[in-house]
Chain A
Amino acid sequence: MTTSIGIDVGSGVIKTVLFQTEGDTHRWLARRDLRIRQNDRFELIAESVEAVLAETGLRREAVDYIATTGEGENVRDATGHFYSMTTHARGAIYLNPEARAVLDIGALNGRAIRIDAQGKVLNYRMTSQCASGSGQFLENISRYLGISQDEIGELSRQSTNPEKVSGICAVLAETDVINMVSRSIPPSDILRGIHESMAGRLIKLLKAIGVVQGVVMMTGGLALDSGLVKAMQDGMDEQKMATRIATHPDSLYAGAIGAAIWGAFRYHKLKEKGQLPKAS
């Protein structure tokens, strides 16, 4: 049995999971997510590792592989690092084995990934540098509208007359939204307009990498935004794509899950070759 920890260092949140792997069976034993805000990332990472160890009653020495992903390249105690596309792909397969594409939308950018049944990345495309398709943008909008982030999805789903928002630039879109607020447009219509704009961009990414059918798994922080999920499915239906959008209550952890599973895989591979890193 292999014990591995996966740490996904995002721009806004650090997600940490602890897995035990026996053959093809992966048991998820502990999780922790910590918002970064103004805190020191490395301290938060250490805190989250301690937390998952405490939750399982394991000692650090019992962990075979600590894998980082996202912005976690510099974590000193990590055994190895995997690129976030690789880990989100594997995490998506863990959460939904039918997934053949992943939409990973985090605080700063979004990424569409086409994968095979093993979680191998076949093609990918990222949003441009503009943040208008990201979680940070939505967080700003919720502040302008005076609502909490948890309310965004439900409000968007109640919209009856969505208002169009610039899909090109976050600065323009934020200006649009401020104008809408002053014109007394209901928050639900503003939010749905934003979700439609984001969905349009993300669907373009999916098409660009050749995703036209099958399950598209949403991962990252925005996978929990039911308004965006609905806008995505509606957009795909409108464009007559044979794709089905899927999400999971644990989508936030997809990167960390993938890192932990790939970490366990690497541990076995290195063990077979007699090349285990000292940190293991």
Chain B
Amino acid sequence: MATKSVKQIVDFCQEIYADLDFTRARQWKEAEPGRKVIGYMPVYVPREIIHAAGMLPLGILGGGADMEVIHGDAYYQSYICRIPRSTIDLAITGKLDFVDGMLFPSICDVIRNLTGIWQLMFKEKYVRYFDTPQNFRDEIGGRFYAHELGELRADLEELAGRKISDAQLNRSIAVYNENREWVNRVYDYRSATPWKAPAFEVYLLMRAGMVLPPEEHSALLRDYLAAAEAEDRPLRDNCRVVMTGSFCEQPPLNLIKSIELAGCYIVDDDFMLVNRWLLEEVPTDGDPLANLCRAFLHHSAETAAKYEADMEKKGSYLLGLIEKRGAEGVIFAAPSFCDPALLDQPMIVRRVAERNIPYITMQYAENSGQMQPIREQAGTFADSIKLWSAS
């Protein structure tokens, strides 16, 4: 039986989403002396290691739709995406002053360069460019990644002022295994009954996972599933689509709402992929770093930030999702000026088109305000699937 209503849960998540001061994370830090918060950017960092160090991993996804970028424009050219600029503004305006360290994963050159900017701006803070392998052979990429994980562990041990034991790491791996399980249950639930779990609600739930400790986030997901099941919501005659390309800079919430209102049930997506980057449960015994390493190399999601040498395999992850979710079409939604997403797109579009799967492409920025063109594009796309597709 649901103890909280969907509205209560979604309002709670919305509050976290809109709070650019990260009050919840600040409160977590202030609750006990010596606690530390480590920020990270998309697309993936091993949060298990941060958690095992007794720290809070905090997902930083830019300033969103309502933040005015003033300082950030001085650091990046106008043909660069918005997320690094608004992230700089977050930092310069003191909204990240409580964050003890930042991890910048290897997603693109822009974010890599942000590492350097951060090091110059915040000399007293821990800053790391978290490099991930582009070679997925155990003896090459695996060796490199194990070393990278080891360095991160050592850095965090120094910051925490204590060792991180294998047992602690294995416990944290178990916590994140459970969190991923709940995340996947929510995604499965939405795919099975998309009218009961609207995409914008699921988005807000996943966004809350960027700020809340994983244990709290898992409980929230469990509560939502119970509450959504208890809610009476009518099934609409919408088409089922997968949205892809939004793995870094996030679309404004209104864009997600507009797509769904226009007649598309979003049955899968790649928002905040860190929540379900690892596709299988990571073993909780043995060498934890070796286990995390193997999971990354052999059981992780596919994005433009990961190199795929075999062109015939490019886009297989998306094709798998389309099949698994029974999707009728794909919306390629990429941030403007996002090199990884936009350079990858033609290759994946080709594979989708080969299979006669309907698709559209659109671009956005985190502060896009005009939704009429989005409604128009998504609405006509939904109609074309419902009225003119062969299925």
Of A80, A120, A265, the contact of B236 (CB 8 Å cutoff): A80
CB–CB A270/B237 < 8 A: yes
What string of 1s and 0s marks CB contacts (under 8 Å) between A262-280 and chain B? 1001100110000001110
Whole-angstrom distance between the alpha carbons of A199 and B238 in the complex?
36
With A73-B261, A80-B263, A80-B386 known as contacts, the answer to whether A121 contacts B380 (CB < 8 A) is yes
Give the segment of A82-90, A136-144, A149-157, A240-248 that binds chain B: A82-90
Question: Judging by beta carbons under 8 Å apart, are B380 and A86 in contact?
Answer: yes
State how many angstroms separate the Cβ of A201 from the closest Cβ of chain B.
19
Distance in Å: Cβ of B76 to nearest Cβ of chain A: 30
Give A121-141 as 1s and 0s: 1 = Cβ < 8 Å from B's Cβ atoms: 100000000000000000000
Residues of A within 8 A of B236 (CB): 78-81, 277, 279
- Beyond A277-B235, A279-B235, is A86–B387 a contact (Cβ under 8 Å)? yes
A85 to B383, CA, bound (A): 10
Bound CA span A278–B262, Å: 20
Query: Which B positions have Cβ atoms within 8 angstroms of A?
Result: 234-238, 261-263, 375-376, 379-380, 382-383, 386-388
Distance A277 CA – B236 CA, assembled complex (angstroms): 6
Decide if A83 touches B234 in the complex (CB within 8 Å).
Answer: no
A/B interface sample: 15 pairs, CB < 8 A: A73-B262, A76-B234, A79-B236, A80-B263, A80-B386, A81-B236, A82-B386, A83-B375, A83-B379, A85-B376, A85-B380, A86-B379, A86-B387, A266-B386, A277-B235
What residues on A are CB-neighbors of B234 within 8 Å? 76-77, 277-279
CA distance A140 to B382 in the complex (A): 36
Least CB distance from A94 to B in Å reads 15
Task: Verify A262–B387 contact, CB threshold 8 A.
Answer: yes
Q: Say whether A184 faces chain B, with CB atoms less than 8 Å apart.
A: no
Closest to B257 in A: A73
Residues on the A chain within 8 Å of B235, using CB: 277-279
Q: Which residue of A lies closest to B233 (CB)?
A: A76
CA distance A103 to B376 in the complex (A): 17
Contact A83 B376 (CB under 8 A): yes
Closest B residue, CB atoms, query A81? B263
Chain A residues in contact with chain B, CB under 8 A?
A: 65, 73-74, 76-83, 85-86, 120-121, 262, 265-266, 269-270, 277-279
**CB <8 Å contact, B388 and A120:** yes
A73-B263, A81-B262, A82-B379 given; 5 more Cβ-contact pairs under 8 Å: A80-B386, A82-B386, A83-B382, A121-B380, A279-B236
Complex Cα distance A193/B146, Å?
Answer: 76
CB–CB A74/B261 < 8 A: yes
List B contacts of A80 (CB < 8 A).
236-238, 263, 386
**Shortest beta-carbon contacts, A-B, top 6:** A80-B237, A83-B379, A73-B261, A86-B383, A277-B235, A279-B234
Q: Which residue of A lies closest to B260 (CB)?
A: A73
| Complex CA distance for A85 and B263, rounded to whole angstroms | 14
Q: How far is the CB of A11 from chain B (nearest CB, A)?
A: 13
Set A77, A78, A79, A83: member contacting B262, Cβ < 8 A: A83
Q: Provide the bound-state CA to CA distance between A74 and B375, in Å.
A: 13
A102 to B263, CA, bound (A): 23
User: Cα distance A82–B388 when bound, in Å?
Assistant: 13
Given A73-B261, A77-B234, A83-B383 contact (CB < 8 Å): yes
> Bound state CA distance, A80 and B237, in angstroms?
5
How distant is B257 from chain A, measured CB to nearest CB, in Å?
10
User: Which B-chain residue is minimally distant from A73 (CB atoms)?
Assistant: B261
- Alpha-carbon distance A128/B387, docked complex (angstroms): 28
Task: Give the residues in chain B near A65, CB-CB below 8 Å.
Answer: 237
A79 to B238, CA, bound (A): 9
Closest to A85 in B: B380
Residue in A closest to B386 when the chains form the complex, CB atoms: A266
Select from chain A the residue with minimum beta-carbon distance to B382: A83
Q: Which chain A residues border B383 with CB–CB below 8 Å?
A: 82-83, 86, 262
CA of A63 to CA of B235 in the docked complex: distance in angstroms? 16
Nearest to B237 among chain A residues (CB) is A80
Nearest B residue to A82, CB-CB: B383
